[in-house]
Structure 1
Amino acid sequence: MAHYIEKEEDMETSKVDDAPYRFGEYGPGYLLRGPRTDIGIVRLRPGDDASNHYHAELEETFVVLEGEATLWLDCTRQFTLRPGDVHRCDPGEMHYFVNESQANFRALFIKAPYDPDDGVQVPWVPGEPVPDLAPGR
């Protein structure tokens, strides 16, 4: 399906089912970008994960639409997210998703304020030591 964003004067629209996922069939897919927020869908197939990262200045909120995934916060706390769950990650809070279920997982995400460069990747997966981070985080 082709992704499109319609613009009419000051209004933009997009379709949730047409998100252009970063890795083809999975990953994050942006629906609207800026000027004040980013809105998108993250899709994880069974066994997929979304890399551990944090945002220095922006918050990211997730609204689970379908499926189930484990959310790890700061590499120490884990939560199972299911449809209808809403979770906000504060600036500086590392977050990592993994789909350990047998069904696809999809969640809407909202990042604000808009800053396309505010994302710090921190390599980590469950079972590894908590990473040392640079000063200032």
Structure 2
Amino acid sequence: MELTQTSKAEYRFGEYGPGYLLRGPRTDFGVVQLRPGDDASNHYHAQIEESFVVLEGTCTLWIDCERSYRLCAGDVVRCDPGEMHYFVNESDELFRALFVKAPYDPADGVQVPWVPGDPVPTEAIARAKGDA
């Protein structure tokens, strides 16, 4: 048995980014925190599905660089393997969401540089979907 609290997350970039709470052996749990103006880089996982439960605040979630969704407290989202996801906090309040990744594989993450306004990386999306 392991016990922790969401307040104990150590964020990758100090005050923001992902912060893991429990790692493996089958699942990762953590919190992603974004201050106003922060983003979480566009990426996908080849084998992992990643789910998010919004705890507080609002943000925009981009899926596959083409579809955007406004998320707020209480929303639950699952990103399937191969589905790119990018969060950006365009509000003036803190955004926090619990994330769950399974199956556990700390090496399964593919960064695809992209922000809204950039050309859609169609080749990277095809690779993520296994179409390339």
8 A Cα contact 2:59 2:70, kept in partner: yes
Residue number among 83, 108, 124 corresponding to 1:133 in the alignment: 124
> What is the aligned counterpart of 2:9 among 12, 19, 23?
19
- Structure 2 residue runs without a partner (length 5+): none
- Please report the TM-score for the alignment, with normalisation by the length of structure 1: 0.90
Q: Work out which of the residue numbers 29, 32, 43 in structure 2 matches 1:42.
A: 32
Structure exhibiting the larger radius of gyration computed from Cα positions: 1
May I ask how many residue pairs the two structures share in their alignment? 127
Q: CA deviation at 1:135?
A: 6.2
Residue 17 to residue 77, structure 1, CA distance change in 2 (3 Å): same
Q: CA deviation at 1:18?
A: 1.2
Q: List, as ranges, runs of 4+ consecutive aligned residues in structure 1 with deviation greater than 2 Å.
A: 134-137
Q: Distance in 2 between matches of 1:94 and 1:133?
A: 9
Counterpart amino acid of 1:109?
A: F
Matched residue SS, 2:7: helix
1:118-129 mapped onto 2 (5 Å cutoff): 118-129=108-119
- Correspondent of 1:28 among 15, 18, 22: 18
Question: In 2, Cα distance between the equivalents of 1:59 and 1:95?
Answer: 11
CA distance in structure 1 between the partners assigned to 2:20 and 2:106 by the alignment: 11
Unaligned runs of 5+ in 1: 1-10
Counterpart AA for 1:15:
Q
Q: What is the aligned counterpart of 2:87 among 97, 101, 116?
A: 97
Distance 1:135 1:63 in 2: 28
Q: How do 1:43-58 residues align onto structure 2 when only pairs under 5 Å count? A: 43-58=33-48
Deviations 1:94-131 (A, max 9, x none): 00000000000000000000000000000000000111
Please give the TM-score of this superposition, normalised by the length of structure 2. Answer: 0.94
Q: Which of 45, 57, 80 is matched with 1:67 structurally? A: 57
Report which of the two has the higher share of helix.
Answer: 2
The alignment partner of 1:13 has SS state of coil
Partners of 1:19 and 1:29 lie apart in 2 by 5
Provide the alpha-carbon RMSD of the alignment. 1.0
Report how far residue 133 of structure 1 moved. 1.5
